[in-house]
Structure 1
Amino acid sequence: MLEAWVHGWTISRNTAAPVRIPAGYRIDVGLPGHLVRYVLHQYDADLVSRQHQPHTWLKIRGEVPLDKPWQVQQLEYLMTTAALTPATPSSREVEIVRQGSVIDATVRAADGTVAARGKAALTGDSAMFDQIETHPQHRRRGLGRTVMSALSAAAQHAGATTGVLVATEDGRALYTALGWTVDAPITAARL
């Protein structure tokens, strides 16, 4: 599942393709504040200790205690679902746009502003769900569930049979309620 997440993340974020390394993957992101990202199957002390370039990011499968100079983020969770089954249809209108292998879903507020949004990147028979967010003034109204349902339906229609994502602690509750399961904790850090 980590491999599906890595490939989907690079598609969703429009970065260079991931490069396989012995410990996992290296992604040249090339953005200010996010130059390179390593996604590791497990902690690799040698690889981590060799990193000195500011704006290097890590995602490591498992809970890993990292010391300075790494800024460790809140624990995240690699989550999966064996079946992309859309939840009960919502009465809210969702805009779905597909460009290549990326599906975007947007829910708008009455004034036309974006209330909630998310993406699913198709890779093989998997869909990697990314950047699922509900704007603060629209939270606790079921919009996250609406976006996930719309993305699940669109990904399933496109041929995906499984889903993968990395969730924050807040997102984990929503995805668990939707039938997703935690595959592993993920340690995230930046230099």
Structure 2
Amino acid sequence: MPDTRISELVRKWIDGWVVSRGSSDPIDEPWGWTIDVGQPQHVARHVLPEPSEGDVRKIVAATSAPGTWLKLFAEDQVVLPWVGPGWRLDGPGFLMTRHLEPERTEVPAGYTLTSWTRSGLSRVLVRTRDGHFAARGQIAHVGDHIVVDQVESAAEHRRKGLGRLVMRTLQNTAYEAGARTGLLVGTPEGRALYSSLGWTVRSPMASLCYEPSDAARPQH
């Protein structure tokens, strides 16, 4: 029997992701949702919380635009045989959730932290004392939950507690705004940080992009 809870979580994640990225509203599909993103390398994405081989093959057969993405909440090795040539696997992702609580934060010596909220988005920026970028992250506020997005640290500033600082600052901002649940999709590298901060993996997510060679592109 399908896990309807995962579908609900995926929909909540989507609702925050479109706010965070400024994308179109999700379009309901029998298998999930389509989102128009409108970027050259990310034209649109199809999100399937409970992907089946039949649904994925139908979407693949109807796809001709490079930069179309599939977000399939299943293991990579399960869905990869369903897509065929022209589709690039972008590495595994993990849908994670956390109950939000106030967290103690401390800015490491040598860094400054700036945060602001505008139009449903809260952002955190960490820089060195002389203004160099060190880390950042943002959350989209959607009702009683938030979606964490675009958390990153500059390579030369990793393993200094900045990712933890960004996450805790964002979580505190969300809690103060009344949110009690957080959602995100993390990379394998991010998963370790988020797990250490109390986030729980709810589902794997396979991410694939349509990048056909010139010879394989449909002729019009």
| Unaligned residue ranges in structure 2 (runs of 5+) | 1-8, 211-220
Match of 2:29 among 14, 21, 33: 21
Between structure 1 and structure 2, the one with the greater Rg is 2
Quote the Cα distance in structure 2 between the aligned partners of 1:3 and 1:94: 31
What's the Cα RMSD here? Answer: 1.2
In structure 1, what residue type is equivalent to 2:118?
Q
Quote the Cα distance in structure 1 between the aligned partners of 2:107 and 2:152: 19
Q: Give a deviation string over 1:32-75, Cα, whole Å, max 9, x none.
A: 11111111112222223322211101111111224321101111
Match of 2:149 among 130, 142, 145: 130
SS of the counterpart of 1:90? Answer: coil
Match of 1:105 among 124, 141, 166: 124
Match of 2:184 among 165, 187, 191: 165
- The farther-off stretch of 170-179 and 154-163 is 154-163
Give the corresponding residue for 1:57: 69
Aligned-pair distance for 1:20?
Answer: 1.4
The TM-score, its normalising length taken from structure 2, stands at: 0.83
- List aligned pairs for 1:87-102, cutoff 5 A: 87-92=103-108, 93-102=112-121
Match of 2:203 among 172, 177, 184: 184
SS of the counterpart of 1:75? Answer: strand
| Unaligned residue ranges in structure 1 (runs of 5+) | none
Q: From the two aligned structures, give the one with the greater helix fraction.
A: 2
Give the corresponding residue for 2:14: 6
Q: How many residues align?
A: 190
